Amino acid sequence: MASVTEGTGSASLGIARVRGERESAQGGAVPGMKLGRAVLGLLLLAPLVVRAVEPISLGLALAGVLTGYGYIYPRLFCLFTECCSQKPSLSREALQKDLDRKLFGQHLAKKIILNAVSGFINNPKPKKPLTLSLHGWTGTGKNFVSKIIAENIYEGGLKSDYVHLFVATLHFPHASNITLYKDQLQLWIRGNVSACARSIFIFDEMDKMHAGLIDAIKPFLDYYDLVDGVSYQKAIFIFLSNAGAERITDVALDFWRSGKQREEIKLKDIEHALSVSVFNNKNSGFWHSSLIDRNLIDYFVPFLPLEYKHLKMCIRVEMQSRGYEIDEDIVSRVAEEMTFFPKEERVFSDKGCKTVFTKLDYYYDD
């Protein structure tokens, strides 16, 4: 791989961001596109500080930001725009609060995410990037957790210039272009990590990604201090997939049929079987992948299928977010409209909480 000295991903990559089709200046240490906001902030601040600062000094400070794009006064610049180093640490308590308040029925995922993410972010010298692979049915909370992680590290969350979201069917649609996609992906990741070591990369729909494509980033996930002069040890990679959901359901259903609580399920009951299932699944995106073979994925995170009681929790939270008073009659009616499986027992929601929000609209149609 050739070295890349630029601080941002190239516009020629052809990889469109899902949110907003952002320009190619993604992930720069001090993005030029944000200069206007910084200058505007300083100009608004000027009347407040003019009495305490000499006019010439204030003018020099403004000129410094204008001419130096924030490099001369980085701390001042970061008061008005998001910077890579703006949140060097993460609050474990805040992350736990978000997980407890927003994620339901996922005791395994909560524990893994809390310990893995907080431990990694607060480790000044990690040996390798943090790599998480989230597995489970649609609507169980995988995308929601990636959003929570991003928001607890960067103020902009998924909209941050340092958080990069890839959707397999959107960004890598054609199997015939897999060689091109590999080159583009390497360039994009290398360029953005060069600009911000704490970059986050989220890969959605891994079960729809062409086999072999994800192996292109294997060097970035390994135990290397530098790859072509760039360190990836502080980056975070998150994979989201439906692959392995059947195996997770089998374990959850066995516990239910045995009269055990789902909270009794331990990670050891699922993780190994899940990794093997994903590795041998031709539709997983990780089929015979070196990322699994070389043990480069730190955690396979199982998301359990949701039960009736969890749907009601989702509905209540959505009501509160819309400013409605919680009406338990509506909560029950919406939850009962959902479909469940297996056909005989009707234990788990087949769509999780994914569609409860649209169903709620029916009862509050103005």
Does 20 belong to an annotated binding site?
A: no
Does 142 belong to an annotated binding site?
A: yes
Does 143 belong to an annotated binding site?
A: yes
Does 140 belong to an annotated binding site?
A: yes
Q: What is the SS3 assignment for the chain? A: CCCCCCCCCCHHHCCCCCCCCCCCCCCCCCCHHHHHHHHHHHHHHHHHHCCCCCHHHHHHHHHHHHHHCCCCCHHHHCCCCCCCCCCCCCCHHHHHHHHHHHCCCCHHHHHHHHHHHHHHHCCCCCCCCEEEEEECCCCCCHHHHHHHHHHHHCCCHHHCCCEEEEEHHHHCCCHHHHHHHHHHHHHHHHHHHHHCCCCEEEEECHHHCCCCCHHHHHHHHCCCCCECCECCCCCEEEEEECCCHHHHHHHHHHHHHCCCCHHHCCHHHCHHHHHHHHHCCCCCCCCCCHHHHCCCCCEEEECCCCEHHHHHHHHHHHHHHCCCCCCHHHHHHHHHCCCEECCCCCCEECCCCCCHHHHHHHHCCC
Does 323 belong to an annotated binding site?
A: no
Does 14 belong to an annotated binding site?
A: no
Binding-site entries:
136-143
Q: Binding site membership for ATP: which residues?
A: 136-143
